[in-house]
A and B are shown apart, each in its own frame.
Chain A
Amino acid sequence: MFKIALSPAERSYLHESLSCSSPIRPDARLYKQFRPLEATCSFLPGSNGSARIRMADGAECLASVKAKVVSLQLNNADATQQLQNLIEVDLDINGIRDDSNLSSTIASSLKGSLVKHVPLDKLRLTHRYAFKLFIDIVVLSHSSVYPLTLLSLATYMALKSTKLPLLTSTVDDREIEEQPMFSDDWESSIALFGDSSLSPPLLFVVAVVNDNIFIDPSPEEESVSENGICLTYANGKIISPLQTISLSPKDNTGINAAQILKAHALVKEIGPLVTKSLDEIVSDDSVKTIF
């Protein structure tokens, strides 16, 4: 499913096209151009936030955010660690075992970037209780070796559409132990990222061929690329993690600073446009069907 076999002639055609000074992508895209996407939000009534995104090649991903009230272990000394545990990421990639290397690597990359950019203070309800967010990501189909961009776009929209019920109990549970109470009225729910200055991070995979870089590489572009770089973008900045990734078995030439700088500039340029397009989908609630 995610292994594409190309003939040597196809590979050299693609590699040559992508590596020359005015590169030509096989579908004629610009180096900074995404394939068209189809996306929708908030279609799972049982989740606090949900999103589905599909790429032009049929690769498709669903993300759900479910909040659950948990009690905090107060005797635990490491408070930040506890807050970070309020986010759990679970990945299910069709055709890949969920305990595989790829799944766990991607899940930890995602979690690592999320804990820093989700307003954790909003999850804290009372002294004793907090919301824990379960982010479940399902990749229905994909043809990429590293479907991180797809996952990240879906997760971004699911988080952006996440609403949490309004806390109505005002008892300070430092003294009296009491479960928190919430408003039944969904209208009064609070958007997780509503007035937050934070924004969910987006992870972009950039393929490197010779001196050229390409955003949103197609599976065939991945398979002839020499390197891959994963960059994280949030709030107008490139943030950590930034890492090199292997997109094809032939990854063997090292990466240089110039390529990283190029990728850096590229993501910085496209980041605002991508977030804007995604936000438009999140705020447009005209269509409710999934498919």
Chain B
Amino acid sequence: MELYSPEGLRVDGRRWNELRRFYCRINTHPIVADGSAYVEAGNTKIVCLLNGPHEPTRSQMNTQRGSLDIKLHVSPFSTTERRKSTRNDRRIQELSTILKNTFEQVVILKNYPRTIIEVDVRVLAQDGGLLASCCNAITLALVDAGIALYDYVSAVSAGVFDNQILLDLNRLEEQDLSSVTIGVVGKTKKLSLVLSETRLPQDRLAKVFEVAVNGCHQLKEQMDAQVAKKGREKAITEGLKTNWVP
């Protein structure tokens, strides 16, 4: 199978700089979580539940700033071939650490001394761009929980096929191409997350980043639109609450 046809089409019919269908929702689990979000990028599906900031156990207590705990759960049915991961799966731990490091820079943790924020990310289906989608879901859950952030972090992957840059790789592309995942702070060009596990041609690097940053900005807009939409719905009901005085 050819990953990029002479006509400029990818295996799933996209152009080189086209994102997959992105669908996101916030406040999907209002009862059990302080913040929650659901993200789909193509066929990758992620649920994120966040609890906190709340009282930590003594060992988690930090008097200067809040603690952030991110747990990644990869469901055994999320891959085409069922695969049950062990509790100490190295890859999963590595991804969790990367996410934790990213969000420790973005959440204004100094506002939350002596508390802990616990994030559970649940992967339901994988079709490429796992780390990026997890990152987007966590951002949305944090926003939903009303936790102070400097800005959104939106993330996407990009790869190189035969000198051609491809944005937002699906699983087939991800398997065969060298790629990088980046997370961008808001509408800036500041990268808060970079992970590349394969060789990237050095001369293409600047261009790959440029394309990916652009993709992140598009995703940020879509995420922001969802948050603002939920916010307007809520503001209307809030209005009902406060405008009326007994």
Contacts and interface: CB of A to CB of B under 8 A. Distances in A.
Direct contact of A and B (CB under 8 A): yes
Interface of A: 44-47, 50, 57-60, 62, 64, 66, 68, 90, 92, 94, 97-98, 134, 136, 138, 140-141, 289-291
Contact of B77 (A59, A60, A64, A291): A64
Given A60-B29, A68-B81, A140-B32, 4 more contacts: A64-B77, A66-B77, A90-B76, A138-B122
Contact of B31 (A57, A94, A97): A57
Given A68-B82, A290-B45, A291-B25, A136 B32 contact: no
Contact of B76 (A58, A97, A136, A140): A136
Contacts of B156: none
Given A140-B47, A291-B38, A66 B82 contact: yes
Which has the most chain A C-beta neighbours within 10 Å: B32, B77, B120?
Answer: B77
Contacts, number: 66
A60 B76 contact: no
A61 to B, nearest CB: 12
B125 A45 contact: yes
Contacts of B30: 58
B10 interface: no
Given A90-B84, A140-B49, A46 B25 contact: no
19 contacts: A44-B45, A44-B77, A44-B125, A45-B43, A46-B78, A58-B32, A66-B82, A68-B82, A92-B76, A94-B73, A97-B87, A134-B76, A134-B82, A136-B77, A140-B29, A140-B47, A141-B32, A289-B23, A291-B47
Interface in B57-78: 73, 75-78
B200 interface: no
Interface residues of B, number: 28
B130 to A, nearest CB: 14
B79 interface: yes
Interface of B: 23, 25, 28-33, 38, 43, 45, 47, 49, 73, 75-82, 84, 87, 120, 122, 124-125
B116 to A, nearest CB: 14
A190 to B, nearest CB: 20
Contacts of B31: 57-58
A90 B23 CA distance: 29
A92 B29 contact: no
A62 B124 contact: yes
A140 B71 CA distance: 13
Which has the most chain B C-beta neighbours within 10 Å: A57, A58, A291?
Answer: A291
**9 A-B pairs closest in CB distance:** A58-B31, A64-B77, A58-B32, A291-B28, A141-B32, A291-B38, A136-B77, A66-B82, A136-B76
B75 to A, nearest CB: 6
Nearest to B51: A1
A66 B28 CA distance: 26
Contacts of A50: 77
A46 B49 contact: no
